[in-house]
Structure 1
Amino acid sequence: MPSKPSPFDLMNSSALARITSPKTNKKNLGDAYLKFHLGQQTSAVLSMSQAQEVFVLPIGRLTPMPNMPPYVMGLQNRRSKVLWVIDLAKMLGLPGVEVNVQHYNSVIINNGSVSLLLIVQSVEGVVRLTPESIQPPLGQVSSGLVPYLRGCVFFEQEILLALDAEAIMRSPLLHNT
């Protein structure tokens, strides 16, 4: 009685090559960026090389710290590391996240030695952007945002702020508190 073939027996090397070879369509071109919303009208991206982790933070897991600027929400222990929790929109001079919620959408950024937990309104997913699609932000955004930007991107009928995680972590706003 012949044995039932496994799915791997049915694949030949040419079929495997067709499955694993990258297609050259526009969606696969460019670097990976995490897309998220800072508010109702403001979308942004961060390079996936700078985004370490995305997760939902229950409000009860956040430890508020007294006498801090309004954009510093407190501390959070994550994977045996204590991280500062920052309302990114508020730090950038935009309206902050809602405070009457059960949880926050959070993104941990890392530059190799320092990690920071950023609170954002919502996380949409990963998009691919080519370096030439990131344009200088001149005249498109407020001057207060410019130090934290790599540029702006017109992507699927909206303008995205291409943020620089390294510039956010070096911000004088975070080092003078």
Structure 2
Amino acid sequence: MVGTPDFLTGIGPDSAAEFQELESPEGDLHLRFFVQSGNEFALQAKGIREVISPSPDRITPIPNVSSLLLGTLNVRGRVIWVADLGQFLGDTTPLNTDRPELPVIAVEDQDTILGLAVDRIVGMDWLDTAQLIRRTNAPDSMEPFLDGQWVLSGESERVLRLLDQVKILRSARWAT
């Protein structure tokens, strides 16, 4: 059966299946996620090195560093800093680390990698950047790190904000 042409095409003599063209996605691939406050964000997939879900006890706290940093994490022999993205963006509520796994998005620019700890990852989605609204009504604390936002269809109050990982990595906030 495997060697028959019917197996390869998926259409047999008794099959009434029709070919359907796959729609090509519009826009770019993005990772969607939530921070502790319930705000939803996206990052372009091309700037993400990987997504991991380590146990919080694998993150080693480091004294005398920015309060935004949760600590360091060893990922296949490479030590990366892990930050609470919500607090970095101005949330007052720290990320809940009392759970079995903590979603961490490792972003990269040149040779710098930073782990952004988030509350929940939604998944990957094709988002049309032509629909991106450049002006946002975001708080001043997060505005410098945004490239814009989408108003989610059917939900006029809910927005999906696009973050720029390079601006986050190069921020002077890490020194405070």
Gaps of 5+ in 1: none
**Hey, what does 1:142 align to over in structure 2?**
139
**Hey, what does 1:83 align to over in structure 2?**
80
Q: Is residue 88–residue 96 contact of structure 1 (8 Å, CA) maintained in 2?
A: no
Q: 2:5 aligns with which of 2, 9, 30?
A: 9
Q: Identity rate of aligned residues, in percent? A: 22
**Hey, what does 2:15 align to over in structure 1?**
none
Distance 1:8 1:38 in 2: 51
Q: TM-score scaled to structure 1, two decimals?
A: 0.84
Task: Report the 3-state secondary structure (helix = DSSP H, G, I; strand = E; otherwise coil) of the residue aligned with 1:103.
Answer: coil
Number of aligned residue pairs: give it: 165
Task: Report the 3-state secondary structure (helix = DSSP H, G, I; strand = E; otherwise coil) of the residue aligned with 1:104.
Answer: coil
Residues 7/122 of structure 1: CA separation in 2 closer, same or farther (3 Å cut): farther
Q: Is residue 36–residue 96 contact of structure 2 (8 Å, CA) maintained in 1?
A: no
Q: TM-score scaled to structure 2, two decimals?
A: 0.85
Q: 1:74 aligns with which of 68, 71, 74?
A: 71
Deviations 1:154-173 (A, max 9, x none): 12433011000000000001
Task: Report the 3-state secondary structure (helix = DSSP H, G, I; strand = E; otherwise coil) of the residue aligned with 1:147.
Answer: helix
Task: Indicate yes or no: 2:52 matched with 1:55.
Answer: yes
Residues 144/7 of structure 1: CA separation in 2 closer, same or farther (3 Å cut): farther
1:8-47 to 2 correspondences below 5 Å: 9-10=5-6, 11-12=8-9, 18=19, 22-24=22-24, 28-47=25-44
Q: Is residue 137–residue 146 contact of structure 1 (8 Å, CA) maintained in 2?
A: no
CA RMSD of aligned residues (A): 2.2
Task: Report the 3-state secondary structure (helix = DSSP H, G, I; strand = E; otherwise coil) of the residue aligned with 1:110.
Answer: strand
What is the identity, as a one-letter code, of the residue corresponding to 2:83? I
Deviation (angstroms), 1:112: 3.0
Distance 2:28 2:38 in 1: 24
Gaps of 5+ in 2: 13-18
Deviation (angstroms), 1:70: 1.8
Between 153-162 and 115-124, report the one with greater CA deviation: 153-162
**Hey, what does 1:105 align to over in structure 2?**
103
Between 66-75 and 94-103, report the one with greater CA deviation: 94-103
Deviations 1:102-124 (A, max 9, x none): 32111100113111111000000
Deviation (angstroms), 1:144: 1.5
Residues 153/8 of structure 1: CA separation in 2 closer, same or farther (3 Å cut): farther
Distance 1:111 1:169 in 2: 7
Residues 41/59 of structure 1: CA separation in 2 closer, same or farther (3 Å cut): closer
Task: Report the 3-state secondary structure (helix = DSSP H, G, I; strand = E; otherwise coil) of the residue aligned with 1:173.
Answer: helix
